[in-house]
A and B are shown apart, each in its own frame.
Chain A
Amino acid sequence: MCGIIGVIDRTMSRMDGSSIKEALSLMDERGSGEGAGYVAYGIYPDYADCYAIHVFFDNLLEPKTMVDKILQTWGRIVHQEEIPTYEQPGLKKEHISWRYFFKPYTDLMVGTTNPDDDNVKRLVMSINSDVKGALVFSSGKNMGVFKAAGWPEDVANFFRIEDYKGYIWLAHNRYPTNTSGWWGGAHPFNLLDWSVVHNGEITSYGTNRRYVESNGYQCTMLTDTEVVAYLFDLLGRQHGLPSETVVTALAPPFWDEIDEMPEKQEEFLRTLRLTYGPALMNGPFAIVVATKDGIVGFTDRIKLRPLVVGENGSRLYISSEEAAIRTMDPEVKTIYMPRAGEPVIGRVTV
């Protein structure tokens, strides 16, 4: 059980975080007060060219000194500050949330088509696995994740998310079953521009984890969802597949359906499935993934978790519950439920 909601304004008109807080809090039945989080795109226009690196520090001595040193070796810290937080009675502050605006040195990474992203990806992996007391939980440009162990409203108030304005928002209310509620285990999970919220369990985690790890990612969050962010980064960014094709690789049609398709489509899906068999995800899930250009929502192949879509003009909503969408936008026009494994995509149009 978990509650998820996402929204995109396709014209990139920005919304503040107050309504998504309300919508997420409506789904408290789907959480247990052990984790909630938000991500918004478009929140740092002043530093739009920098990677906004959000870090949980256990303290600002050794871990921060090490992270500073690593970042300064591989690039330039344009600006850094503590993320402002506001004490909440129901939320115990366990980490210091810090943000860096960072520009990697492009010439330090050779042999890749996207050296800056690869550089930052490598930094995130190395800090998360090697620096004790530091956890990078957000690393994209002009976007940021805010999350903690607590109820949705407490987490929102703690970071005062209504102060941020974004054209894409995702939010998550956690009912943990894999690991106890800890800040790193709260959703959204993020790597570069990819952010993921997930309701469910990934029974193929062992296989998926092995696959991403053999491709240079390291799983450090102690829960199954982080592989989704890495799978999207691997298939979407590194291998260049369009989002809908990534979704098809992760939740492909059944062989019986593939066998019946026209030859070209059959060949495509068979090739895709053979190539990305270890990326196929199993188990119950409803997932929304965001990147700077849009969002995509999808469920597992037999739809063991709910997913509802709402549309109103330039806005597209994807959530576990219709009521959450209606809370966010009482004027919502169209409401429908996608089929199992079918991607629902909202792209920016400007």
Chain B
Amino acid sequence: MSLGSVPLKYKISIDRDQCMKCMRCVDNCSYGVYRIEDDKILIDSRKCTACHRCISMCPRDAINLQEKPVDYRSHPLWTAEAREDVINQARSGKIILAGMGNARDYPVIFDRLVLDACQVTNPSIDPLREPMELRTYIGKKPAKLEFTKNNGDIDLTTKLAPNLKLDTPIMIGHMSYGAISLNAQLSLAKAVAKTGTFMGTGEGGMHEAIYPYQDHTIVQIASGRFGVDIDYLERGAAIEIKVGQGAKPGIGGHLPGEKVCADVSCTRMIPLGSDAISPAPHHDIYSIEDLAQLVRSLKEATNWEKPVFVKIAAVHNVAAIAAGIARSDADAVVVDGFKGGTGAAPKVFRDNVGIPIEAAIAAVDEKLNDQGIRNEVSLIASGGIRNSADITKSIALGADAVYIGTASLIALGCRVCGNCYRGLCPWGIATQKPELVNRIDPEIGAEHVANLIKAWTLEISELMGAAGLNSIESLRGNRERLRGYMLDQGLLDVLKIESVGA
């Protein structure tokens, strides 16, 4: 018995009076929505992902896309999505894959947090006319200053551990070559070099095109160890061990063989066209002691010249885990929240596992502070950060800096259609098809991403100035400058903030 087809998600139409049949829609759609027959453009709406490439390339604004209203019998529990997932799995017997971040309608805590501003008693600071310091150092800090006094002079005995110097607390998170295209990665690399910050290579190794920007990259070691050798470690400004990822806590990664082209295979050090499967655990990390040993091994391998970060997904006991990591010689803990993006994850994980970054960062910061070691280790927040206010709030909740991912891709054109795992990204981002990859000019892409970072940096400066702060150290963990709006007491307690009006 056939299950039949499911209804359309999107309906595409062309205004035939406007259309001049330039065929750009046909050329641009990598999903095959458009085809030409008898001098007429035909549409197969069923293939549409709402990536908007056709619409943005149409010179006549002739294309119209509508999200189709549900045409199943409406039901509050058995939503269209629930029914379609059942049908698809009944048909395939497979795990449902999904791209980008959590697509469920969970409340966004960031949107229930409001920032403070100065009024009469306390002048706000104008960043256009006064210094505003966003410089951030990521890495281990001493607990106290050790020195000797020498005729009234102070001679330091404290020697700082290597730290990354960031001109802005915004970094770009790890998106591997393989998951994204080389032109996308190159755009990000040029952008971070322009803006004095850093990007992650992801677990895909480092392509030689990125070498000129290696001083602005953080190289990643994930459970698959793709692309890892001593040259790779030495190229990065810092090293990150990825234990978990916000979009898919507790599982490994999977890059389908179709995306493993010659260049990717070479960079990852795996056979051409083979699936790149990262195991769920690192097979040399079965305990916190194992992690501590790996951190030290990596430092030993690189002469103790590079900070080592450990990235974990935000899960229920994230604070205790982070405290363990902080005591492992790691220089920074990266916590990735459950709205984090991904190239591909089982949908059930993406939408159901983990906790929001806001709660995770507050809990981790609090735990480290209670243990008196907060300032000795850096804390990087990621997963669902959409704008400068989210960043400012993350820092006020206790982060030193943030990683952005999806936002930087949107700056490259991404329309969050969520089909990254198919390798057909029409914007040339999550694809390895040369004709699609070429759609990104790395120079222009870099300019857009750099503009985004600059704009957000300006906005953070303004928000800080309004709150009477001229250095980012004074924003970090400054819960006084935040209030919760319509949050329940339990969450206010976790976030350690007061309600509006208090």
Contact = CB atoms under 8 A, between A and B. Distances in A.
Contacts of B470: 282, 301-302
A86 interface: no
A338 interface: no
A203 B144 contact: no
A201 B156 contact: no
Given A271-B158, A284-B123, A284-B468, A207 B477 contact: yes
A279 to B, nearest CB: 9
Given A254-B133, A255-B133, A207 B468 contact: no
Nearest to A285: B122
Contacts of A281: 474
Interface in A272-300: 272-278, 280-284
B22 interface: no
B471 to A, nearest CB: 6
Residue from A203, A215, A273 with most neighbouring chain B CB atoms (10 Å): A203
Interface string A208-221: 01110111000000
Contacts of A1: 121
Residue from B125, B371, B470, B481 with most neighbouring chain A CB atoms (10 Å): B470
A239 interface: yes
Which of the four size classes fits the interface of chain A? 35 or more
Interface string B130-168: 110101010001111100010000101010100100000
Interface in A257-283: 267-268, 270-278, 280-283
B478 interface: yes
Interface string B400-422: 00000000000000000000000
Given A254-B131, A280-B474, A203 B156 contact: no
Nearest to A206: B480
A203 B474 contact: yes
Interface in B366-384: 369-372, 374-375
Given A239-B145, A270-B160, A275-B145, A204 B133 contact: no
A254 B473 CA distance: 12
A175 to B, nearest CB: 9
B479 interface: yes
A38 to B, nearest CB: 24
Contacts of A267: 156
Interface in B111-129: 118, 121-123, 125
A254 B477 CA distance: 21
B11 interface: no
Contact of A201 (B121, B144, B475): B121
Contacts, number: 114
B46 interface: no
A274 B141 contact: yes
A213 B467 CA distance: 23
Contacts of B122: 177, 200-201, 203, 283-284
B480 to A, nearest CB: 3
A206 B142 CA distance: 21
B312 interface: no
Interface string A122-136: 000000000000000
B48 interface: no
Interface string A192-207: 0000000011011111
Contacts of B154: 242, 245, 268
Interface string B324-335: 000000000000
B319 interface: no
Given A213-B369, A274-B141, A284-B122, A206 B163 contact: no
Nearest to B375: A278
B475 A271 contact: no
Contact of A256 (B130, B131, B476): B131
Contacts of B476: 207, 277-278
Given A214-B372, A254-B131, A283-B468, A274 B474 contact: no
A204 B478 contact: yes
Given A274-B137, A280-B474, A206 B481 contact: yes
A83 interface: no
A304 B470 CA distance: 12
A135 to B, nearest CB: 22
A140 B434 CA distance: 75
B469 interface: yes
Contact of B477 (A241, A255, A278): A278
A276 B145 CA distance: 8
Contact of B474 (A204, A270, A275, A284): A204
Residue from A200, A206, A272 with most neighbouring chain B CB atoms (10 Å): A206
A274 B374 contact: no
A70 B244 CA distance: 49
A277 B141 CA distance: 10
Contacts of B133: 254-255
Contacts of A200: 122
8 contacts: A203-B468, A204-B473, A214-B374, A215-B372, A254-B131, A256-B131, A277-B476, A283-B122
Interface of A: 1, 177, 200-201, 203-207, 209-211, 213-215, 239, 241-242, 245, 254-256, 267-268, 270-278, 280-284, 301-302, 304
Given A205-B480, A282-B470, 17 more contacts: A1-B121, A177-B121, A201-B468, A206-B396, A207-B476, A214-B370, A215-B372, A239-B144, A242-B154, A245-B154, A275-B143, A275-B375, A280-B474, A282-B468, A283-B469, A284-B468, A301-B470
Interface of B: 118, 121-123, 125, 130-131, 133, 135, 137, 141-145, 149, 154, 156, 158, 160, 163, 369-372, 374-375, 396, 467-471, 473-481
The 8 closest A-B pairs by CB, nearest first: A206-B480, A204-B474, A206-B478, A282-B474, A203-B468, A277-B473, A177-B121, A201-B122
